[in-house]
Structure 1
Amino acid sequence: MIRNVRKSITAVAFGLFTVAALADSGAFFRAIKQDNDVAMRSLLASGVDPNTKDEKGVPGLYMALQEGSLRVARLLIDSPRLKPETRNATDESPLMMAALKGHLDLARQLIARDADVNKPGWTPLHYAATGGHLDIMRLLLEEHAFIDAQSPNGTTPLMMAASYGTPEAVKLLIEAGADIHMRNQKGLSALDFARRAERRDSVELMETALRWSQQKQGPRGQW
């Protein structure tokens, strides 16, 4: 009898805890959507986990960066309890989203909090190159980002810059030493990416780099 009563009390307490947690989670994501830093500061002070994910597995900080809710993003990054490598269901990190959106200062802060500059698969440099964000690309390279990082299908940051970024991003990567000869699993090079995307300026940059590379080769094809 006593054991059954204890079980009932435990079940009720757990149910109340779950309801409270769901309520806090709802308020957490509303604050993000509204970029309501006052509400977020109150929630964090009350003990809400800054690493909370929504029902689709999207972490709060990733969502804040994606939504452009930068006041809330700064609060979350400043939280001592933040785990900066809390990723979404497709293994994307907050630093990757900051790189894609061009949030230089927040990218710096995340790196200072030990966010991973290099990771298997898609990397922050891929995302910065896709957005053509030169300052973030330089920051990542200064922090020893692997310039020829390969996505799961072998795509490099140079390929992403050539297809989606800007000629300036292509030029930066070439001058920083990106391998212009690499191909992904479909056999496509960065030049192929630029041609398919009809990026004339990037095509010209790649063709010039390839000609220069051929001129540097010795009689036996060696540097």
Structure 2
Amino acid sequence: MHDVLTSRLSRRQALRLLAVPVLLSVLPGLAFAGAYDDYFSAVKLDNIKLVRSLLQRGFDPNTVEEERGETGLIIAVREDAGKVFDLLLNTKDVNLDARARNGDTALMMAAYKGRYDVAKALLDKGAEPNQTGWAALHYAAAVGNNQIVQLLLDHSAYIDAESPNQTTPIMMAARGGHILTVKLLLDEGADLTLKNGAGMTALDFARVGGFKDIVEGLTYRLKKAGKL
């Protein structure tokens, strides 16, 4: 009887030992079952304590949110979550140039929001200013932020970058009526003769927008260059 009980106990112990590796393989998934929602909520609320805790437990900083296809870094810029942005910026293996579903990067978001400090921090860390299609310089020009325009140009941003329909940064500046940005881009060598997919130049955008000062300035520049 004693031998039978011993045999049964041995089998149970063996089964338990065999179950350990299986349980351990499942634990990470169980541990992060609710981490996805917790992470993105914490990023939006600038909850650095929770974000740091999740990252320390192995949560991937390049995980993408389903709604817009954005990473935590992009969301932190969009939501002005400064503490979480700093944390993610300095997190190992974070992808600075990850693109959301609409093509935006963290740098493009910073340019659009006029966040010079954020844009500079990203560039200093090695973020790429030149992207295929829309780029950060388009966004900075569109909102007329000369500080960021100059910052991007100083980091080798392509001045005549073309969007998917061949729209350039100076066209965006002219479209928005940002005369000082138009002047800055011109002084830095932007090409006024370029046309987008609809056949429009920066001068055409200024005319459509009714920005007379820009129209006059661009017309003068084109005539001076013998291109009008």
Does the TM-score normalized on the shorter chain lie above 0.5?
Answer: yes
Residue 46 (structure 1) shift: 2.6
1:142 aligns with 2:154: yes
Give runs of aligned pairs for residues 33-72 of structure 1, distance below 5 A: 33-56=44-67, 57-72=69-84
* Residue deviations 1:31-63 (CA, integer Å, cap 9, x gap): 122122232233323322222211131111111
CA distance 1:18–1:181, shift in 2 (3 Å): same
**Residues 1:201 and 1:18: Cα distance change in structure 2 (over 3 Å):** farther
Q: Is the 8 A contact 1:141 1:147 kept in 2?
A: yes
Distance in 2 (CA, whole Å) between partners of 1:63 and 1:142 is 26
Distance across 2 between alignment mates of 1:165 and 1:50: 39
Q: Distance in 2 between matches of 1:14 and 1:153?
A: 49
Cα distance change, pair 188–37 in 1 and its aligned pair in 2 (3 A): same
Change (3 A) 1:165 1:26: farther
Q: CA RMSD in A?
A: 2.3
How much does 1:176 deviate? Answer: 0.6
Give 5+ residue unaligned stretches, structure 1: 1-5
Partner in structure 1 of residue 14 of structure 2: none
Q: 1:165 to 1:27 in 2, by over 3 A?
A: farther
* Alpha-carbon contact 1:170-1:205 (below 8 Å) kept: no
User: In 2, Cα distance between the equivalents of 1:13 and 1:90?
Assistant: 38
* Structure 2 residue aligned with 1:31: 42
Residue 186 of structure 1: which of 198, 208, 211 is its match? Answer: 198
Structure-2 separation of matches of 1:161 and 1:147: 12
**Partner residue of 1:126?**
138
The reply to whether residue 174 of structure 1 matches residue 191 of structure 2 is no
Question: Number of aligned pairs?
Answer: 209
Query: CA offset at residue 134 of structure 1?
Result: 0.9
- Tell me whether 1:89 sits opposite 2:79 in the alignment: no
Provide the rounded CA distance (Å) in 2 between the counterparts of 1:208 and 1:78: 47
With normalisation by structure 2, the TM-score equals: 0.82
1:157 to 166, 169, 179: 169
Q: CA deviation at 1:149?
A: 0.8
Where does structure 1 differ by over 3 angstroms across 4 or more consecutive aligned residues?
A: 12-20
**Residues 114, 145 of structure 2: 8 Å contact kept:** yes
Residue in 2 that maps onto 1:3 = none
Contact kept, 8 Å, 1:129 with 1:137, in 2: the verdict is yes
Distance in 1 (CA, whole Å) between partners of 2:119 and 2:204 is 30
Look up the SS of the partner of 1:79 in the other structure.
coil
SS of match in other structure, 2:73? helix
Contact 1:74-1:106 at 8 Å conserved across structures:
no
From 115, 119, 142, the counterpart of 2:127? 115
Q: Which has the larger radius of gyration?
A: 2
SS in 1 for 2:167: coil
Give the gaps of 5 or more residues in structure 2: 1-17
